[in-house]
Amino acid sequence: MIETEISITVNRKSDITLLEQTIVGNKFQFPVYIREYEFSYQINFTSDYEEWELDTAILNSFPGYEFTTDLEKGRKEIRIQIYRYQSELSTDGWGRRIENPLDETKYLVKASANKSEKFNSKIKVLFEDKEQFYFVNIVDGVNSTTEEKGFLLLDHFKANETDEATFFKDRLYKSPLEAFHSGYYKLSELVDKDFSTYLENKKKEIREIQKQPRKIIRDFINACNSSDESSILKNLDENIVFEVRKNWKTIFEIEGLSKFKECLNSSDQQLCGKNFKIRSSWSFSLPNVTIGVKYFPPVTEKDMHPTQKYEQIRFVLNDKKIASILYEN
């Protein structure tokens, strides 16, 4: 059995008689405790049910009032307070512990006046880190058939202007706020279209930015595959740094174009004649560019069917030259 402890604070002592009558009308089958204090009454009881009907009965007894769980700024008078609590150890009839036991406070306060909330017609939309602004434009309107007055939503979201703009003919809105909410949802189709254009333009800009680095790196790999020394050196910085790592440990490192040339002509060089194939996934964080490569090692008598190898090369570019090469195998 799930027990709910219910505590009611009556802040106007003159309300106690009405509260007692309301409680009696609910025909509770358990004792109800009433304590009197100098400025208030406290009513407590424990039930095997949450007794939500009591809230409705109290509202019927206090017209013009409403229950809230969130007190607004400029705190209103709390005429009655209802607190419901269920222990975290509460279990149902099958001995299972209940989820999300009640721990809730409601306040009976004067019902808020139905005022139309003000709003800003400008709506900010973020396209990643770029701010875009749209406007919900509303004008006065009249139903020519019924002479009913209201508001029309203009089919114009790009600027805060109403001249020569057509309006949606689906309805005449009763309030500007109603028209604003409708405009917000109608706006989404235009925003989605603009965002698609934004992404496409961004892709074009990225392709343009990456165009030259891709060409430099492709030319370098092609030159390595054909062992063309002059083409290999053509795009390298004078102070080129070349590093080889194996299992994340540096096993070889040199600096300078002359040292790199010596490395290319050594018997244990790592770059030439491997017939690298550049894999499709390039990683750009300019000036850093990382590519994956694959190749088949030369066939040997011991290994007539060599396994394809996958390795990674990271380049650092500087002023249209390769300033650093990190080869990981």
Mean pLDDT of 20-36: 92
Cα angle for residues 227, 230, 231 (degrees, 5° grid): 75
Mean pLDDT of 209-235: 95
Q: What is the pLDDT of residues 261-284, one digit of tens each?
A: 999 999 889 899 899 999 999 999
First to last CA, the chain: 67
Res 87 pLDDT > 80: yes
Q: Looking at the structure, give the CATH architecture of the domain made up of residues 4-110.
A: 2-Layer Sandwich (3.30)
Residue 92 near residue 49 (C-beta atoms within 8 A): no
Spatial CA neighbour of 162 closest among 143, 135, 142, 183? 135
Res 115 pLDDT > 80: no
Six token digits for residue 96:
């299972």
Res 163 pLDDT > 90: no
| Sign for the pseudo-dihedral over CA of 221, 223, 227, 233 | negative
Q: What is residue 198's DSSP assignment?
A: H
Q: What is the pTM of this model?
A: 0.54
Six token digits for residue 278:
């550049």
Six token digits for residue 126:
């973020």
Residues facing 109 on adjacent strands: 66
Interacting residues of 243 by C-beta distance below 8 A, sequence separation 6+: 250, 252, 253, 324, 325, 326, 327
Q: Where are the domains of the chain?
A: 4-110, 122-201, 227-328
Binning pLDDT at 50, 70 and 90, where does residue 300 land? Answer: low
Averaged pLDDT score across all residues of the chain:
89
Predicted pLDDT of residue 116: 67
The domain defined by 227-328 carries CATH number 3.40.50.300:
no
